[in-house]
A = this chain, B = another copy of it.
Amino acid sequence: MATIGFIGLGNMGGPMARNLIKAGHSLKVFDLSEEAMNFVVQSGAEAAKSAADAATNVDAVVTMLPVGDNVRSVYVDAGVLDAVSEGTLMIESSTIDVETARAMHAAAAERGYQMVDAPVSGGTAGADAGTLTFMCGGEAAAFAQARPILECMGKNIVHCGAAGLGQVTKICNNMLTGINSLAVAEAFVMGEKLGVDRKILYDVISTSSGDSFILSNACPMPGTLPTAASSNGFKPGFAAKLMLKDLRLSQAAAQAAGTATPLGAAATAAYAMHIDQGNGDLDVSSIIKLLKPDV
């Protein structure tokens, strides 16, 4: 069993760290919120004094932070890159822009260290249950070293390629997720306005060529899926503002790739308008309100 520094203990990081403890690892943890720290310390983790402290004398560091600037702060400004020693593997699990991800890999490589970018899908439910998917970027040896650790937190661990390609894969997936949520909303609002019952639309399309994971599992039209957020007051789930963050990452990625994403761009604009109207904390499926405010 390993000693692991874990930095960032929020809704995702907290349960992930606890799953590492359950698997028998020793954890040194750090978060700016004392409450978040306590949650994990009560499960058996050692409280570190700082991010750098959490990264000192450990076999691996896992970071799970909100945005790219946080990641840069923790690794560069807060000194994690200086605190780690030879052989420490860095696992960066935040969902961030590809440019920052690659810059962190490069900064690690410069010092002779290995890093894996390993963003996740599966949400807080997957983090709790230890069933996350990890999309990993980095060298094969680093990925091999990361895998047993990631397997304590997830069930689908994929090596997507070189540095940053975990992030790229994640953002391609989430761009589709965001597009599909809006697209399904468009079809259901239109269909029902023209007279088709929403349950009939659901039954037909969920078994036809227009189906998608979102339609079948998170249909934005209330009343089609009893367990979906849309049938439960749009309580997240995955907040709309986080979807906007991911869509913006997708647009930055499209710029970096020099490629057109006409639907990705239209979806990004739609979520931005939706959130401007005060809906950021609702579930992503609330995007249907942009088309039908009284849904």
Contacts and interface: CB of A to CB of B under 8 A. Distances in A.
A195 to B, nearest CB: 5
A86 B11 CA distance: 51
Among A210, A268, A270, residue most surrounded by chain B Cβ atoms (within 10 Å): A210
Nearest to A162: B195
B265 A190 contact: no
Nearest to A174: B210
Nearest to A278: B293
B290 A173 contact: no
A292 interface: yes
B212 A196 contact: no
B263 A186 contact: yes
A255 interface: yes
A200 B263 contact: no
Q: Is the interface of A mostly helix, strand, loop or mixed?
A: helix
A255 B253 contact: no
A265 B121 CA distance: 27
A181 B8 CA distance: 37
Contacts of A110: none
A208 B173 contact: yes
A269 B172 CA distance: 17
B210 A175 contact: yes
Contacts of A141: none
A28 interface: no
Given A209-B214, A277-B293, A173 B193 contact: no
A250 to B, nearest CB: 8
B263 A290 contact: no
Nearest to A188: B172
Among A158, A160, A190, A201, residue most surrounded by chain B Cβ atoms (within 10 Å): A190
Contacts of A175: 183, 186-187, 190, 210
A252 interface: yes
Contacts of A190: 168, 172, 175, 250, 253-254, 257, 259, 261, 264
A33 interface: no
Contacts of A1: none
Interface string A210-236: 111111011000000000000000000
Given A161-B197, A180-B180, A251-B255, A276 B262 contact: no
A22 B268 CA distance: 49
10 contacts: A121-B209, A190-B250, A190-B259, A194-B256, A194-B257, A260-B276, A263-B267, A266-B266, A277-B277, A277-B293
The list of the 4 closest CB pairs from A to B, nearest first, reads A176-B210, A260-B272, A265-B265, A212-B212
